[in-house]
């Protein structure tokens, strides 16, 4: 395809050829009449007219094309100067108007973006909690004033941040959020970030959240450090109060249980049937209250760090068998079968005997409580890599889906008949032993609790050998 200039030149050439043909005919006629000079004059005039036509037509087109190219390159200050009011003048005027409009749009868009940037920056700086913003590769882009005051020069330097107390956890959370593209939060006390501000040490809870665009592409991360010092102080005071109150209440409770036992055994005289029924009912309630006191004390000991774990090598098969034996009578009363499935030579776990017993007892007691008569409870253990996974599966009523998310929280709604602390205690014990716990359940299809404990590492012992 020919462009406009080529078409105009081709048209002018064809017109010139046509003109030359006519001139040649005229020249032949004039030559015959003896007027040769006049013929050459016609030919020269025709060539001049053709060349002039090409120049005066192509020149304004080239000028307009050059001006349009400069505007297209981003020079929106350029204006097309044209004096005539013909069609070329109209085109030049419209190009100038387009340039003015584009510049206005650019300036307004830049102003809007500048205003949005200033607004977002002002919002970021106004947040009291330390904020760190990174790109999709984990490079630090922006920090607010609170983060700069907390971390100092390390706030914007990854290398310096890695050598700052707590900085390795911040960088690790950012890496995890970028790689997994989901929020990473530190919920347990061991993951809190202790930071010293002046002469006071404060604790921060870390949370890193990925940022995405409208199409779901990762843009970066936002890391928030929530000051939980006051919450920790309040929780610590509450835990100490619960521990002291539980111990103070346990002695009177023990005396009450002894008195009820004496009455039930007839040491105070024979009881009427109604009296015996009331004593039995009150004794049952005091047992529940004693369980609550025990759970409160154990949770308080874990929270305050007073619970010392005595780690040793324990055999899973033996632990499961002992747990079944402890609850076989209670299960038999409800006609519930308790089965153990595990190999006797399963690798030993490295755990605290009392803690493992408490974990299994809580899970089994819950399973028996919520399993209907003629149901079944299966407790298993199997080795998975460097862990042994324990499973307690029942055929009970199951757990509602909305309750699964907070099933291991204190005083959760699942424990209508229990203390509400059992599963929270189980989670704390499992995590303190280096394992993890999870639950699977559907309403009407029972519940399955799984927890892991690390396999005990065999230690090579070298015995001296006498030579000779």
The secondary element (H helix, E strand) that includes residue 378 is strand 376-384
Q: Please compute the mean of the pLDDT values over residues 450-454 and round it to a whole number.
A: 94
Q: Which residues contact 376 (CB under 8 A, 6 or more apart)?
A: 336, 337, 338, 339, 394, 395
Nearest CA to 379 among 387, 368, 370, 369? 368
Domain boundaries, the chain: 4-73, 127-227, 233-304, 311-454
Could you give the count of Cα atoms lying within 13 Å of 148 in the half-sphere of its Cβ?
A: 10
Q: Which residue has the higher pLDDT, 337 or 301?
A: 337
* Number of C-beta neighbours around residue 332 at 10 A: 11
Give this prediction's pTM. 0.51
CA distance 429 to 414: 19
Of 90 and 454, the structure prediction assigns the larger pLDDT to 454
Task: Tell me which residue of 206, 210, 205, 225 sits closest to 137, measured CA to CA.
Answer: 210
pLDDT confidence of residue 183: 61
Token output for 181: 């593209």
Contact yes or no for 247/301 (Cβ under 8 A): no
Across the chain, mean pLDDT equals 78
Classify domain 311-454 by CATH number.
3.30.565.10
- Same-fold call for 233-304 versus 311-454: no
The CATH class, in words, for 233-304 is: mainly alpha
pLDDT > 60? residue 338: yes
Q: The sheet that has 387-394: what strands, in order across it? A: 337-341, 376-384, 387-394, 447-454, 437-441
Q: What share of the chain is helix, strand, coil (3-state, %, to 5)?
A: 55, 20, 25
Specify the pLDDT at position 468. 42
For residue 464, give both structure tokens. Answer: 């001296």
d(CA 290, CA 255): 12
Lowest mean pLDDT among 386-390, 408-412, 428-432: 408-412
Q: Which fold does the domain 127-227 belong to in CATH? A: Beta-Lactamase (3.30.450)
Residue 163 has pLDDT above 80, yes or no: no
Structure-derived torsion over alpha carbons of residues 340, 343, 344, 350, reported in degrees to the nearest 10: -90
* Weakest mean pLDDT among 80-94, 151-165, 176-190, 438-452: 176-190
Please work out, in degrees rounded to the nearest 5, the angle formed at the alpha carbon of residue 397 by the alpha carbons of 393 and 399. Answer: 80
User: CB count, 10 Å around CB of 401?
Assistant: 10
Q: Is the pLDDT of residue 311 over 80?
A: yes
Question: 380 phi and psi, to 5 degrees?
Answer: -130, 165
Q: What is the distance between the alpha carbons of residues 267 and 168, in angstroms, rounded to a whole number? A: 66
């Amino acid at each position: 395809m020919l462009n406009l200039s080529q078409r105009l030149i081709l048209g002018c050439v064809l017109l010139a050829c046509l003109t030359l043909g006519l001139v040649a005919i005229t020249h032949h006629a004039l030559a015959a009449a003896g007027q040769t000079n006049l013929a050459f004059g016609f030919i020269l005039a025709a060539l001049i007219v053709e060349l002039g036509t090409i120049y005066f037509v192509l020149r304004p087109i080239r000028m307009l094309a050059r001006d349009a190219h400069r505007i297209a390159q981003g020079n929106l200050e350029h204006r097309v100067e044209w004096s005539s009011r013909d069609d070329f003048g109209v085109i030049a005027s419209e190009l100038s108007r387009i340039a003015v409009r584009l510049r206005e749009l650019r300036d307004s868009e830049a102003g809007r973006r500048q205003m949005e940037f200033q607004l977002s920056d002002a919002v970021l700086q106004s947040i009291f909690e330390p904020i760190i913003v990174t790109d999709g590769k984990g490079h630090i882009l922006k920090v607010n004033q609170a983060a700069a005051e907390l971390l100092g020069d390390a706030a914007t330097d990854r290398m310096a941040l890695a050598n700052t107390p707590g900085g390795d956890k911040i960088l690790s959370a950012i890496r995890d959020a970028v790689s997994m593209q989901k929020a990473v939060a530190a919920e347990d006390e061991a993951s809190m970030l202790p930071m010293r501000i002046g002469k006071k040490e404060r604790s921060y809870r870390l949370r890193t959240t990925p940022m995405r665009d409208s199409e779901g592409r990762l843009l970066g991360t936002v890391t928030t450090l929530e000051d939980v010092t006051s919450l920790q102080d309040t929780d610590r005071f509450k835990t100490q109060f619960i521990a002291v109150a539980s111990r103070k209440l346990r002695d009177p409770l023990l005396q009450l249980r002894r008195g009820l036992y004496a009455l039930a055994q007839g040491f105070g005289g024979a009881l009427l049937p109604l009296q015996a029924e009331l004593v039995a009912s009150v004794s049952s309630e005091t047992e529940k209250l004693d369980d609550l006191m025990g759970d409160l004390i154990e949770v308080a000991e874990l929270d305050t760090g007073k619970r010392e774990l005595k780690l040793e090598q324990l055999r899973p098969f033996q632990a499961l068998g002992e747990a079944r034996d402890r609850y076989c009578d209670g299960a038999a009363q409800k006609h519930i079968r308790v089965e153990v499935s595990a190999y006797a030579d399963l690798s030993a776990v490295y755990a605290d005997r009392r803690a493992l017993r408490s974990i299994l007892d809580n899970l089994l007691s819950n399973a028996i409580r919520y399993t209907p008569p003629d149901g079944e409870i299966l407790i298993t253990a199997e080795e998975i890599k460097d862990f042994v996974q324990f499973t307690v599966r029942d055929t009970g009523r199951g757990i509602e889906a909305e309750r699964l998310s907070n099933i291991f929280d204190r005083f959760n709604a699942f424990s209508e008949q229990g203390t509400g602390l059992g599963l929270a205690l189980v989670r704390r014990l499992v995590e303190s032993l280096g394992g993890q716990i999870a639950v699977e359940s559907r309403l009407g299809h029972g519940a399955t609790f799984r927890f892991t404990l690390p396999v005990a590492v065999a230690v090579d012992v070298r015995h001296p050998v006498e030579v000779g």
